[in-house]
Chains A and B, each alone.
Chain A
Amino acid sequence: MTASSGHSSTQAVITGAGQLPLVPLARNSGMALDLDWVARVQANTSAIERRAATIAARRSVKKAHQAAWLLKAISCIDLTTLSGDDTEHRVARLCAKARRPLDPTLERALGLRGLTTGAVCVYHEMIPAALRALEGTTIPVAAVSTGFPAGLSPLPLRIAEIEQSVAAGASEIDIVISRRHVLGGDWQALYDEMRAFRAACGKAHVKAILATGELGSLRNVARASLVCMMAGADFIKTSTGKESVNATLPVSLVMIRAIRDFHARTGFHVGYKPAGGISKAKDALTYLALIKEELGNRWLAPDLFRFGASSLLNDIERQLEHHVTGNYSASYRHATS
């Protein structure tokens, strides 16, 4: 890797989600619950683990390609704060980082400007703060909802929470499913719940958090993924970040294969969001490679792929500085979120 390899005379404009020159996709309107399909789904854990374990060894991106891929990863980050001690100022700081995720000198050296993260993800109470801080941008505000993270508050309240968040201006809603419906094999209940959430979202896009670390098996992950997509999820998402096991490559493989199957059957593109535990640039590259291999290039864009992450961005910044300068970087050199 050389110091000059990142310099470029052409300046391209890359902007946040919603402004990429991509053909807008028809939104997933869902389909009737197909229990036969759900029952047929298999997921062989050891085979899935083998595939997941070799993806990083099979695909490698270097130099300018690595830099471009890391920039892509930034554009797909849902920059997130989901803490009980969140304040308006804390959210403002996060939003400032979402607007300008990279140091301007790095941006210039890499030959682009206007890069933003994919979205900002907060609790309902922080939606107004986020909207204010993101004013003048197209960066969407995502709100976690439905009694996040456990999802065990009364159903009418969970639906009302969605409606209030949408009314408050959130354009993306990250809902949590009732894990008990999966663990009990009550696919109809899961479908009905997801349908109700989707309806409550209206125009806002809905991401279904499966809390995969609590579903017990990869087969359950595959089946829950399918049912949520049948019920109209725009995205399926691994985790709240609050489970003891969050996003993993094997879980991701199962979910994106479900997305591929659903697309083959219905033509709808459903997005994928791994969340929790992805904090290294190298991991982000592996995830992008996995998506490229299993779903294809169309999914490598923020309208279909997001990282739910908070500390990933800083590691990416350090790697990009290394790419530009040839020297290894330090965390403190990059603005915090």
Chain B
Amino acid sequence: MGLGWPPPRLGASVGGMRSPRPCRPGPSLPWAAAGVALWTLCLASSATATSTELQIAYQRFRLDNGLTVILHEDHTTPEVAVNLWFHVGSKDEAPHRTGFAHLFEHLMFMGTTRVPDGEFDRIMEALGGQNNASTDEDRTNYYESGPAPLLPTLLWLEADRLTSLADAMTEKKLNLQRDVVKNERRQSYENRPYGGVELALVDRLWPTGHPYHHPVIGSHADLTAATVKEVQTFFRTYYVPSNATLVVAGDIDPKTARAEVERYFAWIPPRPPPLHLTPPPARLAQPATVRLQDRVQVAQVTLAWHAPALRRRGAAEATVLAAVLGGGRSSRLQRRLVYDTKLASEINVKHDTHEHDGILEITANVGEGHTAAELERAIRNELGLLALGEMPSEREVERARAFVERTTLEALDGLNARADALNEYESMFGDPGLLRRDHLAQFVRVSPSDVRWIARLIFAEPDVAVIVTPRSATRAH
């Protein structure tokens, strides 16, 4: 019952290709397929420099089984994107099972009874579909895109693995993906210059037992320990409709798309939503310094503080603060340390946000002829000036806001990027309308005194420093 077999063939979808209604006729861009022309139906942004609302329209509904669905039209290309978020990430992992959520993400591609190992990708690619997934601390997302007529097939494939993956799980599949993930760890951290920094940071920023204490990739030992039974339990706990949000975006007709979603997902029985614990706020009792040696030629200093979490009070201010400090050549740290004194050859500042915590992170490469200690001192000095010295100027905060506004827009470039943003607002806040109303607007409000306020709040707390220095090249025998 439910899904049926085989998956829908092209042309068998409910409804056909829709005809275009150009919102803004322009110079002809002869994209002849399915009458797609140059337009962006009702997505045209009439934004001027002062408008801060994003014209990203959507429709939203919820199935009886708890699955929330968002539909978003965009006819820029004749493509459709399916974007599914599960509210589970590395923060939900059991002790000694770090890396599990991400390993599980890999396993989602390993096949079901109806769509055995490898068929998922074969079906999709035979029809021009692409797919991928990602895992972080808080959520796991699966996304596909392809020609618009492929939508029913994409939905069918997602519904199939959502409902029957656990039944077809085997030791062999688990072993294989374990190896792939271990290779990913080697490539992304162990064999990469400065790859140990991120691992050291999470280890020290949060205490043992805190959900954010371990890296998403997990440890080799814990990956080895995972069992098939645990995979099945994890699946049945977290991969349930009430813990998921689905966005369908692109060259769609909302009525047809809705009917297709209901056809493939409405039959899925409800299951109780999993418990999501809110971890206690983490505060460092004292600063920590980690010293690493690596096969690098240039030393590197990384300093990190706890900062506001995703969309919490102070988050927008912290993001603008990061731009005041490091966004562009005339930012505080770049101007003083890279271009004036050359203590650093490169500096990056970012405000990273998770669901329950955030990090303000400064990474700087040491300039020729200088030491890590000098650079660290100079950075702290600049932070002190910002927090306790003269109020930041209106101009520099304006620049920082322009920087953040631009990066925010860039991050929304593309169908899947917008689908993902809608999904984040739905999944984390239950309100995709926030994307339109406040995603840009949150930064416009930030003033110089706000920047100083958040700088004082953040930098008053202890930090974690990770210093990487070059190791000598002789091999230990």
| Co-assembled chains A and B | no
**Chain A: residues with CB nearer than 8 A to chain B?**
none
**Chain B: residues with CB nearer than 8 A to chain A?**
none
